[in-house]
Amino acid sequence: MASSSKPDAQETSYIEMDNKNDATLIGKHCEYDYCNQLDFLPFFCQSCRKTFCLDHRSETTHKCANAGAWAERKRLAQLSQPSIGSNKVLRDKISQKPCASPDCKTVVGTSLTPGVHCETCNRDYCLKHRFKEDHDCKNLVPVGARPAQFDISQTTKSAFDKLRAWGSAKKQQAGRALPKPKPTSTSARLIAVNNLKKSAKGDAKVAPEKRVYIYVEAEAETTKAKFPKGEFFYSQDWVVGRVLDAAARSLQVQNINNQSSDERDKLRVFHVEGGRLLEFNEKIGTALQSGNTVVLLRGVGPPPDLIEA
């Protein structure tokens, strides 16, 4: 026999049977002793599994033989569901520690005193010192932060100003000694490149069609080199950083780019024909042409966006 529950069916021991969607259902006799009334809207008891009329629908009125069974099933179903805090560790169970206020001896992180975490200074306090004004939060350096964190923007701006001025002076000083670009006429450049190919040195494993032949010089004002200049070829797929490493080895120039974070110690590559410093991640196949000249400069500053006036 078809049956269904209404929205509040789980709150009572009985549910109203559904005869609206079953054309064969023409009522049901109440199963309570001495009643036997024919009810076209009967009720089904979820405890004793019998059908009753309106007057005997509750467990009390029909003296249910299995009273409370539906309530027990409901209770067990609720207990089987996971609780909200399931598989989670509360902060107060992580560790027990004294209140972060210097003069307070209260231990926080216990079941009685869970403690309050201050997001500003990154410390744990008892209830008495939980407010910022109670533990002098404004005068505390946050745990894990640098002492000069509050002035970092001004400090960074000042450092950039000094570096910008220093880098500009270095560029002007080095610019006076930089070589002039090679001849730009087609015929003169072809002759120069052919001569360069005869004398250039490089990795023999680089395929001839991928070679870029260039002049490399070490600028005397900023860089000390055993060999001031040389003629080399490199693969067009190499980035400028790799070319810099290879050229520094060939000219025996000290290269500590990977050891120092100070721009004053770093080598950079200046493209004479392009009139600019090359980025370390640029491919020389797109930045240079055979016959071009590059100069190794030390301490001319970071990329242009940091030192341009």
Please classify residue 216 by burial: count the beta carbons closer than 10 Å to its beta carbon, then call 0-12 exposed, 13-18 middle and 19+ buried: buried
Q: At residue 293, what is the residue type? A: T
What is the reported pTM? 0.41
Write down the pLDDT at residue 213: 92
- Residues in the chain where the model's pLDDT stays below 50: 1-9, 23-24, 88-94, 148-153, 155-156, 159, 176, 303-309
Residue ranges in 176-290 assigned as alpha helix (H): 186-199, 240-251, 284-287
The sign of the torsion formed by the CA atoms of 291, 296, 301, 302 equals: positive
Supply the pLDDT for residue 7: 42
CA–CA separation, 11 and 20 (whole Å): 22
Structure tokens given for 29: 């006799």
**Which of 17, 68, 25 lies closest to 44 in space, CA to CA?**
17
Residue 12 has which token pair? 């009572």
Distances (CA, A) of 166 to 175, 230, 288: 14, 29, 28
Cα within 13 Å of Cα(190), Cβ side: 3
- In this prediction, residue 75 carries a pLDDT of 87
- pLDDT, position 233: 93
Tokens standing for residue 199: 């004398």
The one-letter amino acid at 102 = P
pLDDT at position 173, please? 53
User: Looking at residue 144, what is its pLDDT?
Assistant: 73
164-193 pLDDT tens trace = 555 565 555 555 455 555 556 677 778 888
Q: What's the token pair of residue 4?
A: 């269904």
Count of beta carbons in the 10 Å neighbourhood of residue 191: 13
260-308 pLDDT tens trace = 777 777 888 888 888 888 888 899 888 888 888 888 888 776 544 443 4
